[in-house]
Chains A and B, each alone.
Chain A
Amino acid sequence: MKNILRINNVSKLFPNNVRALNKISLEIEEGEIFALLGPNGAGKTTLISSVCGITRQSEGNIKVKDFDTVTEYKKARSEIGLVPQELTLETFETVWNTLVFSRGLHGKPSNPEYLHSLLDDLSLGDKKDERILSLSGGMKRRVLIAKALSHEPSVLFLDEPTAGVDVSLRKTLWNMIRSLKKSGVTVILTTHYIKEAEELADRVGIINQGEILLTEDKKVLMKRLGKRKLILSIESKKNSIPEELKELNLEFGKTNSTIIYSYDSKDRNSDIFEIMSRISNSGLKILDFETHQSSLEEIFVDLVSGRSQ
């Protein structure tokens, strides 16, 4: 797959000597959904802003569809749509006018049919002539997305797209993002809501303190860094783990009537049936068992806190 975005050795040093980005290199494939995860102040928005031209990088270069964002900024920016984190809209404008403005700003001739279908896709068709100040927060979020798509970009940046959005709208937005991917749009989203990345992303990048810690296919990442747990319910509460099971590093659960065995699914020595057999042979009667795969959130927390390599 061809790379649609190439970020090469980009750093951003603010005048107060804060290094927001530190030699970041990143490549995004055409047509993928890429989730950029990171804690507050990690550099997510600065990175997006550098690509879009809102922030000037101190060093390095960025190419969108082979167009340099500094020397060929017009061509590069024509390919980009940006949905900012904040609900920044001119409240006295109508939905339609703000869309027409955005399309024109990106150098595209008027196309009412496309804009109408865009509004319909975002369930805003009946709000076309409403002033933005009369819309709910969720509708404003959709207006921002419509504005970002008004010039038919090939790369869409979504900065925290579902922040402050209710569950129902969140699912609607997720479906919309999936359909955008199907239509060939490359989506790059930043999110705090890791479930979102888990649901949507093809690849995940983790950024912290201005550095990319890793980029990985989401499934591979979860398999590689994910831990599994075998949780066993035992018949009676115990105060200690039997001596012959010490080498398994078992832990008690919240109550002493459950014990937990953590293992790596790739580890050939971690045959859970053999483990259960050993536990049973030690005199503990197993009533029930379940397994648990660590979520992307747990992996993220481990990575950011430096617990995973």
Chain B
Amino acid sequence: MNIYAIKAIYIHEMSRFFRTIIGSLISPIISTTLYFIVFGSAIGSRITDIDGITYGAFIVPGLMMLNMMTSSLNNGAFGIYFPKFSGTIYEILSAPVSSFEIVIGYVGAAATKSILIGIIILATASLFVDLEIKYPVLMLLIMIMTVVSFSLFGFIIGIWSDSFERLNFIPTLVVTPLVFLGGTFYSIQMLPELWQKITLLNPVLYLVSGFRWSFFGTGDVSITTSLLAIFLFTLLCISVIILIFKTGYKLQT
């Protein structure tokens, strides 16, 4: 195992995050604050408790998931896309480093950044609402599994993309709508029956629900189903990445 290479990629990627530390940290704090002003106070005060949870507290896991998923996806995609775009990918391809080590370096960094953002949001949210996490270990596990799987998904998008337009295509046009429609800010029980059934087709629902379950012990679907969904999604991403490196798709000529 080329530990030095993994460390080099990881530090290299993290340094990009720390180069823009103010933007990286301030941005989630401001957006979380705005969400709480709009959804928590203005609209939330008119919404009744959901399963005995105040609306302000109810949206915290969804808000964390929304930001962590978006961050993992963007960081995972940009991390590998940028060397392709700038031409510096030659160095990765010609180095004595396996595809597994490359993925650990890039995905590890993207996941770390997203966890940091999740923690910042949690800390900011705790200023607005009273929060008690019922299953903290499970919360941490789901958090890690989600950021890793979405960073892997982002990594696939980064390899697939050959322009900035493509890079933004899936995150903006596919993932963001799925995240917003996946119970981030509401329980699916608040929807008409037909829409409840349609929403069950949305994979993001299982992630958000599982994460919410770790906070409050209640969710739209069972925790086992959620964990299974995250596991299957991670497995799917890993399989695609193995295939990419095996065939050299969009990396090697």
Q: Which residues of A come within 8 Å of B, CB atoms? A: 14, 49, 52-56, 73-78, 80, 82, 84, 86, 88-93, 97, 100-109, 147
* Given A56-B248, A82-B91, 6 further pairs, Cβ under 8 A: A88-B88, A101-B12, A102-B91, A104-B7, A105-B97, A106-B5
Query: How many B residues touch the partner, as a band?
Result: 20 to 34
B94 with A53: CB separation less than 8 A:
yes
A88 with B96: CB separation less than 8 A:
no
> Smallest CB-CB separation from A100: which chain B residue?
B8
Chosen A-B contacts, 21 in total, with CB atoms closer than 8 Å, are A53-B93, A54-B252, A55-B253, A82-B90, A82-B94, A88-B88, A90-B88, A91-B86, A92-B19, A93-B12, A93-B15, A97-B15, A101-B8, A102-B8, A103-B4, A103-B8, A104-B8, A105-B5, A107-B5, A107-B96, A107-B97
- Residues from 87 to 119 in B contacting A, C-beta threshold 8 Å: 87-88, 90-98
B2 CB–A CB distance under 8 Å: yes
Instruction: Find chain B residues with CB under 8 A from A73 CB.
Output: 96
B9 CB–A CB distance under 8 Å: yes
Question: Which among B4, B16, B98 has the greatest number of chain A C-beta atoms within 10 A?
Answer: B4
- For chains A and B in complex, what number of residue pairs have CB atoms within 8 angstroms? 87
- Residues from 7 to 43 in B contacting A, C-beta threshold 8 Å: 7-9, 11-12, 15-16, 19
Q: Which residue in B19, B95, B252 is a CB contact (below 8 Å) of A106?
A: B95
* Cα separation A84 to B83 with both chains bound (whole Å): 14
> Smallest CB-CB separation from B92: which chain A residue?
A105
A56 with B252: CB separation less than 8 A:
yes
Quote the shortest CB–CB distance from A68 to chain B (angstroms).
13
Q: Which residue in B4, B15, B88, B92 is a CB contact (below 8 Å) of A108?
A: B4
A109 with B4: CB separation less than 8 A:
yes
Instruction: Find chain B residues with CB under 8 A from A90 CB.
Output: 82-83, 86, 88
Instruction: Find chain B residues with CB under 8 A from A56 CB.
Output: 248, 252-253
Instruction: Find chain A residues with CB under 8 A from B96 CB.
Output: 73-78, 106-107
Instruction: Find chain A residues with CB under 8 A from B90 CB.
Output: 52, 54, 82, 84, 88
